[in-house]
Structure 1
Amino acid sequence: MQELYLNPHQARRRQPTAYEDLLGDSIERAYAAGVHDLAGLVAHLNRTGPNCPAGGVWTEDSYRAEIARLAAEC
């Protein structure tokens, strides 16, 4: 019997952009460092990047909007 599993890339329509890779890597590093709340994640992004695409610093609202935008593209 074939073992079933979720391939994390099975629903993706295209390769991630360099920006998306950087954002994902930064989020993963934040989680690995023990950051698990939105305020901490936003602070991590402001310290390490990537920059907020709208310019300026990341805020909780800009993070939510950017993640919603990226999710809508999937």
Structure 2
Amino acid sequence: MSDRTLQPHQARKREPTSFENLLGDSIERAFAAGIHDLAGLVDYLNQAGPTCPGGQPWTEAAYQTLIARLGE
């Protein structure tokens, strides 16, 4: 068995969009602030941005749906 690892950037099919970069940065800031639950993360995104696609406030369902789509 080899000792290889997959770097996340090796698995992506395209460069992230500006929105995806902003979302990732905001999620990282939330984690750094000690927020680790979905409700807290959604609250953080509604305060700090970026806004949910379509301009609506973030909900837990909207976040889960978007992250599932981005993870495909």
The answer, yes or no, to whether TM exceeds 0.5 is yes
TM-score (norm 1): 0.87
CA-CA distance at 1:71 after TM superposition: 1.2
Q: State the secondary structure of the residue aligned to 1:54.
A: coil
Residue 68 of structure 1 deviates from its aligned partner by: 1.1
Deviation at 1:4, TM superposition (A): 3.1
Instruction: Please state how far the C-alpha of 1:41 moved relative to its aligned partner.
Output: 0.1
Does 1 or 2 have the higher relative contact order (CA < 8 Å, sep 6+)?
Answer: 1
Aligned to 1:30: 30
Q: Does 2:10 match 1:10? A: yes
Deviation of 1:56 after TM superposition, in Å, equals: 1.4
The alignment of Structure 1 onto Structure 2 pairs a total of residues equal to: 71
CA RMSD for the aligned pairs? 1.4
Q: Amino acid of the residue matched to residue 39 of structure 1?
A: A
Question: Per-residue deviation at 1:29?
Answer: 0.4
Give how far 1:5 is off. 3.2
Structure 1, unmatched stretches of 5+, are: none
TM-score using structure 2 length: 0.89
Structure 2, unaligned runs of 5 or more: none
Stretches of 4+ moved more than 2 A in 1?
3-6
Partner of 1:41: 41
